[in-house]
Structure 1
Amino acid sequence: MIHIVIPVFNRKEYTKACLVSLQAQTNQSFKVIIVDDGSTDGTEEMLRNEFPEVVVLKGDGGLFWTAGVNMGIRHALKEGAELVMTMNNDVLVDSEMIAQMYRWHKEKPKALLGALELDASNNQPIFGGERLNWKTNTIEHLLQVLPENERKGLHPVTHLPGRSLLIPRVVFDTIGVLDQERFPHYIADYDYTHTARRAGFELFVNYDAKILTYPEESGERQIRSSKTFKNYYKHLFDIKGGGNLRDFTRFTLKNCPPPYVPYHLANGYARRLLGYFLK
Structure 2
Amino acid sequence: MLYIVIPVFNRQQFTRACLLSLRQQTRADFRVVVVDDGSTDGTPRMLAEEFPEVDVVTGDGNLFWTAGVNVGIRRALVLGATRIMTMNNDVLALPDFVAQMLRWADRHPRAILGALELDAASGQPVYGGERLDWRTNTRQDLLTALPPTEHHGLHAVTYLPGRGLLIPLEVIEEIGLFDEKRLPHYLADFDYTSVARRHGFPVFCNYDARLSTYPDESGQEQTRRKHSLRGYFQHLFGIRGGGNLRNFTHFTIKNCPRPFLPYFLLNGYARRLVGYFLH
TM-score (norm 1): 0.99
AA partner of residue 16 (structure 1)? R
RMSD: 0.6
Match in the other structure for 2:211: 211
Match in the other structure for 1:156: 156
CA deviation map 1:197-230 (0-9, x unaligned): 0110000000000000001011111111121111
Match in the other structure for 1:125: 125
Moved over 3 A (4+): none
What is the distance in 1 between the residues matched to 2:218 and 2:12? 15
Matched, 1:42 2:48: no
Matched, 1:248 2:248: yes
Which has the higher mean CA deviation after the structures are superposed, 128-137 or 87-96?
A: 128-137
What is the distance in 2 between the residues matched to 1:79 and 1:195? 26
Give the C-alpha shift of residue 98 in structure 1: 0.3
What is the distance in 1 between the residues matched to 2:169 and 2:263? 35
Map 1:57-206 to 2 at 5 A: 57-206=57-206
CA deviation map 1:130-172 (0-9, x unaligned): 1011112211110011111110000000100000000000000
Give 5+ residue unaligned stretches, structure 1: none
AA partner of residue 217 (structure 1)? E
What is the distance in 2 between the residues matched to 1:239 and 1:201? 29
Match in the other structure for 2:24: 24
Give 5+ residue unaligned stretches, structure 2: none
Q: Structure 1 vs Structure 2: percent identity of aligned residues?
A: 61
What is the distance in 2 between the residues matched to 1:82 and 1:67? 20
Name the SS of the counterpart of 1:70 in structure 2. helix
AA partner of residue 76 (structure 2)? A
Give the C-alpha shift of residue 246 in structure 1: 0.4
Give the C-alpha shift of residue 77 in structure 1: 1.1
Name the SS of the counterpart of 1:201 in structure 2. coil
Give the C-alpha shift of residue 31 in structure 1: 0.3
CA deviation map 1:89-140 (0-9, x unaligned): 0000000000001110111001000000000000000000010111122111
What is the distance in 2 between the residues matched to 1:46 and 1:102? 29
Which has the higher mean CA deviation after the structures are superposed, 253-262 or 10-19?
A: 253-262
What is the distance in 2 between the residues matched to 1:43 and 1:188? 25
Name the SS of the counterpart of 1:208 in structure 2. strand
What is the distance in 1 between the residues matched to 2:61 and 2:117? 29
AA partner of residue 50 (structure 1)? E
Match in the other structure for 1:11: 11
What is the distance in 2 between the residues matched to 1:101 and 1:66? 22
What is the distance in 2 between the residues matched to 1:76 and 1:50? 21
Task: State how many pairs are aligned.
Answer: 279
Match in the other structure for 2:223: 223
AA partner of residue 189 (structure 1)? D
CA deviation map 1:168-195 (0-9, x unaligned): 0000000000010010000000000000
What is the distance in 1 between the residues matched to 2:195 and 2:78? 23
AA partner of residue 186 (structure 1)? Y
What is the distance in 2 between the residues matched to 1:147 and 1:59? 44
What is the distance in 1 between the residues matched to 2:112 and 2:15? 24
Match in the other structure for 2:52: 52
AA partner of residue 250 (structure 2)? R
What is the distance in 2 between the residues matched to 1:158 and 1:220? 21
Give the C-alpha shift of residue 253 in structure 1: 0.8
What is the distance in 2 between the residues matched to 1:22 and 1:78? 22
AA partner of residue 57 (structure 1)? V
What is the distance in 2 between the residues matched to 1:107 and 1:24? 24
TM-score (norm 2): 0.99
